[in-house]
Amino acid sequence: MLNTTQPKEVFLADYQAPDYLVDQAALTFELASDMTRVRSVLSMRKNPQGQLNDCVLDGEQLKLISIKIDGRELQGNEYQCTDSALLISSPPDKFELEIETEIFPEKNTALEGLYHSGRLLCTQCEAEGFRRITYYPDRPDVMAVFTVSIVADKVLWPIMLSNGNLDGQGQFDDGRHWVRWHDPHPKPSYLFALVAGDLYCQQDSFVTASGRQVQLEIFVDPENSHKCDHALSSLKQAMKWDEEKYGREYDLDVFMIVAVNDFNMGAMENKGLNIFNSACVLASPETATDNDYYMIQSVVGHEYFHNWSGNRVTCRDWFQLSLKEGFTVLRDQQFSADMNSAAVKRIDDVNQLRNLQFAEDAGPMAHPIRPASFIEIGNFYTVTIYEKGAEVVGMIKTILGEQGFRKGTDLYFERHDGQAVTTDDFIKAMEDANDIDFSQFKRWYTQAGTPELTVTTHYDSSANRYHLRIEQSCPATPGQKEKQPLYIPVAMGLLNKQGDAMAMQLEGEENAYPDETRVLIVSEQQQEFTFINVATEPVLSLLRNFSAPVNLSMARTNSELAFLMANDNDSFNRWDASQRLVINVLMQLVESVRAATVLTVPDEIIKQFSLVLAKAEEAPDLVTKMLTLPSENYLAAQAKPADVDAIHSARNHLKRSLAQALKQQFTTLYDKLNSTGNYRFNADDMAKRSLKNCCLDYLLTTQDPMQVQRCLKQMKQADNMTDTLAGLSILVEYEGPETEHAVRAFYEQWQHDRQVVDKWLAVQAKSSLPNTLVRVKGLMKHPAFSITNPNNVRALLGQFCRNNPVNFHALDGSGYQFLVEQILQLDKLNPQIAARLLGALNSWRQYDEQRQQMIKQALQKIAEQPELSSDVYEVVTKYLAV
């Protein structure tokens, strides 16, 4: 049995222009803890492109107090009110609509609309949260100029913020005060924001290229006043970068960021008033790791860049989500690459894509970057929309080149400023600015699944010719059996046996290509490229810098991979060769574990790792990536059926063997790197710390008590969270009283700091030691954990279910049972977070029969619950359908 009223699927093909538009929206909020009164005055008019004469406004969980048209109060028979809408029959072509509602922020645990986070009141409206604030045409293609007044008790709510520029403020005699904000830029309701509370404000300023003075303000809880510097400097970097790289300037007098503890997402780009999950904005060396610093810089950049790619030019409907997200992720990736190491940034992005997006593309929720339908848009804030979306825009950039791409984005911004548009409009601007035809390329927007390139080569020494044959295919995905050939840019180079770049001249070309890397376009199902004047047999370096989001199927020997690992002049491909070599070895070991035969680690890989370690100091960041073995989840996706236990044993065995064989090198390197001075966040220091901690991680796999002491010593002496946390995460893989003591001591030291406590929860949840589930259940009762806080849920439950395969997929089914219990509890509180946690079962079809049976029962148990949210309903039905 499923719910009686099944949530409805909506289709892109059914899109219709709005029937009524809003030109001006004047909102007045009278804030109070339990109940807030909202008065909205909307200047509305009939849309010439609309179809219906009735005006339908969205609204959920609102108490309607009164409704007036042009000052006249409507009688009960002049409108209809349902659970989700307010319908006014045939209003005038142009009218002023005044509505008063009451809302109840304290009861709002879904964290959409207006809600409490501690003593703070704040909003989250994307995608459809504004309808929980007032009745409104809550869709992105209705754009209005907003004026927002807020009235509240001055002691309780000294700071009151909304979008745009401050337009007035004052006091009443009764102890209340008021502010008025005006945003001159028309915007959709999803970009509306309001914040009120007692907040500390750190200020700075920025002068734009055209001389406009912009006030920058970060608002945080007073106890976090020392954690704003990094976000502020990242913001200034981002503002400058967007001017230089994209010619985009900021357009208001003030730019504000608020840190909020209870937040479903990472951050939100509300016009002029970004709201951030506190984990994505607060940083100090003692409490934040290098990864936090790196992530904060990128998220601050991302949300800021939305001011143009998202706010000034927005989406027509939610099927176009990738229009703003794919493009903006590409922009933040470029920004991080420019601020840090470009090679490492690319490796991080591809790792994420392969680990998460490829899995999504291969699973029951597979969808194109512009989906054709959905039940709950909240389920489509996915790695496909974001990360694959960025890859697709990145391919456009690769095809057009830096300058052509900039011409395209300039035209896009100029043509569509102030509009709500589609991905087709984006492509059209690229085509028009560059006089190119992207009709075939557009299939990337409509076809799901990860394409596969099957590559064969042949060298003809008598004719000095080298033949490269590439065949493309794409696996079937739900609702899409047959796929058409895609337009794929494949960057490549040729190396001779000494590792030098060889000239590349295709048959029919007069001269050799001038650069070491060239981009081939694969647009047919099968294509052959013939290189001429190739004097000796080359080694092929293909898909350089990961020029397309595809899987490469190509027979490579271990020695060929070792050669590329040492010689490729594309850093990404050097790393990729190391990963492929490791995967070859690991897959062999997995087979041996399954067959219960002796595990042997080939000398070749030990030799390669030794060579890498010998040169580690030349490129410590790249070397760390090369030494880091692929995750168990990624390995599981490569082997069918995925044997969780065999993968875990094989990976541990390889790590331990490498550590034992190369102990001296790891130790020397560790000692050498373990003497950096005061903490600074920069690419160099960050690279050294990560290499040092990578060495420590290897050393501890030997389970040698001396290494445990080394780890404890590092934790004790560290002046920064990167080294402290690295020590703890390594130690939780070691069973002993030292570990228990370190875990307790860490909490005692950091219990006052939410961000650090979340790390403490996450580290324990990821431990592969047996009994971790018991520990996780215990931590759920710990004062540090609250099920209503999304960061706590992500840290403890999310990490256990997603990143602890050996425990989560335990053969007794305890992990699955635990997940069901949590989903059912969470769905009543926060459906978005519940649906996301269920994502831990995305790849359930890759496991053995026994596990699949248990997971199926778990999914059925969820599906049988009455009154599931549409979020969980959609995910569970799609999972069960495959």
Catalytically active residues are 303
Q: How many CB atoms lie within 10 A of CB 782?
A: 14
Nearer to Zn ion, 328 or 865 (CB): 328
- Looking at this protein, which amino acid is placed at residue 738? E
Nearer to Zn ion, 329 or 726 (CB): 329
Between CA 282 and CA 301 the distance in angstroms is: 14
Least gap, CB of 383 to Zn ion (angstroms): 13
Between the alpha carbon of residue 725 and those of residues 522, 622, 729, 734, the distances in Å are 45, 21, 6, 15
CB 253 within 8 A of CB 312: no
| Cβ neighbours for 637, distance < 8 A, ≥ 6 positions apart | 358, 359, 362, 843, 846
Residues that bind Zn ion (CB under 5 A): 325, 328
Least gap, CB of 809 to Zn ion (angstroms): 32
- Looking at this protein, which amino acid is placed at residue 781? K
- Looking at this protein, which amino acid is placed at residue 308? W
CB 369 within 8 A of CB 384: yes
Residue by residue, DSSP assigns 277-325 as EGGGT---TTT--HHHHHHHHHHHHHHHHTTTBTTTBEESSGGGHHHHH
| Cβ neighbours for 479, distance < 8 A, ≥ 6 positions apart | 372
Between CA 442 and CA 445 the distance in angstroms is: 5
CA neighbor of 586 nearest in space, from 631, 524, 544: 631
Q: Say whether 469 sits in a helix, a strand or coil.
A: strand
Between CA 784 and CA 259 the distance in angstroms is: 19
**Two tokens at 674?**
């373990």
CB 743 within 8 A of CB 761: no
Q: What are phi and psi of 364, to 5 degrees?
A: -70, -20
> Exposure pattern of 358-387 as b/e (b: 16+ CB <10 Å)?
bbbbbbbbbbbbbbeebbbbbbbbbbbbbb
Nearer to Zn ion, 117 or 328 (CB): 328
Least gap, CB of 592 to Zn ion (angstroms): 45
Between CA 199 and CA 225 the distance in angstroms is: 9
Least gap, CB of 248 to Zn ion (angstroms): 15
The two beta strands, 159-162 and 194-197, are: antiparallel
Least gap, CB of 266 to Zn ion (angstroms): 8
Between the alpha carbon of residue 694 and those of residues 318, 566, 709, 725, the distances in Å are 42, 20, 16, 13
Least gap, CB of 404 to Zn ion (angstroms): 25
